[in-house]
Amino acid sequence: MKTKTIGEILQEERQFHRLSLPELAKKSRIRLEYLRALEKNQFDQLPAATFVKGYIKTYARLFGFDHQPLLALLRRDYKESAKGKLVPREFVKPVIKKRQLWTPVTILVIVMASVFLTLLGYVGFQWYNLNKPPSLEVYAPQEDQFVAGTVVVEGQTLPEAVVTVNSQPVALQPDGSFQTEVYLPQEGISTITIEATDRRGKTSLLQRTVYVKF
């Protein structure tokens, strides 16, 4: 009999309580794409192991089950990589080196493909410049950072853009830089949303997931 995976167990708990993934994302303050990856056991698409354990504990708290057996299952089947990410214990990355044969036909095909891709890239670049949303950079906080209840959000965008942080407008400096403080009232995982909208109505959106600890 096949043992259920961590993702399958979490998915069954959520479905038993008749809660959709978007509803759970709103209730748990965990990104929707993280919840999808967690229930599909795609741990390579999730942040560090500390946060994955926190997500499992959040499921347990919301749905009223003991998280310890799931954490034990996680330790049994996965280990932390050098970067703190979870990888299967039996994971072995195959490395296959193929011999490259350089023939006149191969070289001609490569040259023709390069010319075509260059032209295609130029057209695409021009189109992108005409339709791209405003540039938006967020310097602080960092993704998956541990923070206190009050977080300083810093970034840079176009001087003429309108910036909001968690739907609250933020004043811009003449050079387009901005800085504001955000209050996060609850401990645990929280998401900060930063948006910049230009005069054409084009919007750039960035999010930072942080772990609040008082």
Query: pLDDT tens digits for 157-180?
Result: 999 999 999 999 999 999 999 999
What's the CATH code, domain 136-212? 2.60.40.10
Q: How is residue 200 written in tokens?
A: 């054409």
Which pLDDT score, from 0 to 100, does residue 100 have? 57
Dihedral of alpha carbons 28, 33, 34, 40, sign: positive
Q: Nearest 5°: phi and psi at 7?
A: -60, -40
Q: Which amino acid is at 34?
A: Y
Dihedral of alpha carbons 7, 10, 12, 14, sign: negative
Which pLDDT score, from 0 to 100, does residue 101 have? 64
Rg of the chain taking only CA atoms, in angstroms: 23
Distance CA 178, CA 141 (A): 13
Contact call for residues 190 and 28 (beta carbons, < 8 A): no
| DSSP reduced 3-state for 7 | helix
Report domain extents, the chain.
6-88, 136-212
Q: Smallest Cα–Cα separation from 193: which of 210, 213, 211, 212?
A: 210
Query: pLDDT tens digits for 76-127?
Result: 888 888 777 887 776 544 444 455 567 888 888 899 999 999 999 888 888 8
177 Cβ contact partners less than 8 Å away, ≥ 6 residues apart: 154, 155, 156
6-88 CATH fold: 434 Repressor (Amino-terminal Domain) (1.10.260)
Mean pLDDT of 190-210: 94
Distance CA 130, CA 121 (A): 14
Q: How is residue 4 written in tokens?
A: 């259920």
Question: What is the CB neighbour count within 10 angstroms for residue 121?
Answer: 10
pTM metric for this prediction: 0.44
DSSP symbol at 5 = P
